């Protein structure tokens, strides 16, 4: 079977995760907890054979990917297509602040309106799905028969899960998006399938599950 095994990892914790601030394309680094989480995930995957590591070029993902590269010896390649959803003018704010200043936009966001585009150059859920699906196909088809790692963001992990399970864009999320959780998928030319999700055995404590990371 023409298949590529994928390990998908959300970046470690950041200061804005702790503060509940919307990150999107804003380039926020890991905090000390996030750096430790990245090391823990990397150690858990140290024996995994990886043909390559592809990471969002935002530093919170890139720093997480570098820890994985250190333990596995695989090279890290920047993949801007794995960036978080762009939240436009809302980046840097909390959801409560958005709800107060833009109640109609906050309502459409909360209801997961697939066509809703954030003001100031943001992305809709449909645009995000198209971007992630195209990026994963482009990367995975280069490594048929092998295994790769994708290091990205909460919104990207959410979209990977939906693509692999056929969940609608507006379906309520019932799956975790924990920082540095280890998720496993299989890619074939027919699309993604889910192998395993939300492995956090390597983490000593809890982690945040913000979807706009």
Report the mean per-residue pLDDT for the chain.
95
pLDDT of the residue at 210: 47
Percent of the chain's residues with pLDDT above 90: 94
Q: Side-chain half-sphere of 63: how many Cα atoms within 13 Å?
A: 20
pLDDT of the residue at 72: 98
Residue 193 token pair:
């399938």
pLDDT (tens digit per residue) in 9-54: 999 999 999 999 999 999 999 999 999 999 999 999 999 999 999 9
pLDDT (tens digit per residue) in 132-173: 999 999 999 999 999 999 999 999 999 999 999 999 999 999
Mean pLDDT to the nearest integer, 170-184 = 97
pLDDT of the residue at 211: 45
- In three state form, how does the secondary structure of 69-138 look? HHHHCCCEEECHHHCCCCCHHHCCCEHHHHHHHCHHHHHHHHCCCCCCCCCCCCCCHHHHHHHHHHHHHH
Q: How confident is the model at residue 119 (pLDDT cuts 50, 70, 90)?
A: very high
User: Which residues carry out catalysis?
Assistant: 11, 84
| Candidate CATH numbers 3.40.920.10, 3.40.50.620, 3.40.50.300, 3.40.50.1240; the one for domain 4-199 | 3.40.50.1240
Mean pLDDT to the nearest integer, 201-213 = 62
Note whether 205 and 183 are within 8 A (CB): no
Residue spans of the domains in the chain: they are 4-199
Model confidence at 127: pLDDT above 70: yes
Percent of the chain's residues with pLDDT above 70: 95
């Amino acid at each position: 079977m023409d298949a590529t095994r994928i390990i998908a990892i959300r970046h470690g914790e950041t200061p804005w995760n702790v503060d509940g601030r919307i990150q999107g394309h804003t380039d926020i680094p890991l905090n000390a907890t996030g750096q430790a989480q990245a090391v823990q995930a990397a150690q858990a995957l140290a024996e995994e054979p990886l043909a390559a590591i592809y990471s969002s070029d935002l530093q919170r993902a890139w720093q997480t990917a570098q820890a994985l590269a250190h333990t596995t010896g695989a090279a890290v390649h920047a993949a801007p297509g794995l960036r978080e959803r762009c939240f436009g003018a809302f980046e840097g704010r909390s959801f409560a602040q958005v709800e107060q200043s833009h109640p109609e936009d906050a309502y459409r966001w909360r209801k997961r309106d697939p066509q809703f585009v954030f003001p100031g150059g943001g992305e809709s859920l449909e645009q995000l799905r198209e971007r992630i699906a195209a990026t994963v196909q482009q990367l995975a088809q280069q490594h048929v028969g092998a295994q790769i790692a994708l290091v990205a963001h909460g919104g990207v992990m959410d979209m990977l899960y939906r693509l692999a399970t056929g969940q609608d864009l507006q379906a309520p999320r019932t799956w975790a998006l924990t920082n540095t959780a280890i998720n496993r998928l299989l890619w074939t030319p027919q699309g993604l399938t889910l192998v395993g999700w939300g492995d956090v055995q390597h983490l000593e404590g809890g982690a945040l599950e913000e979807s706009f990371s």
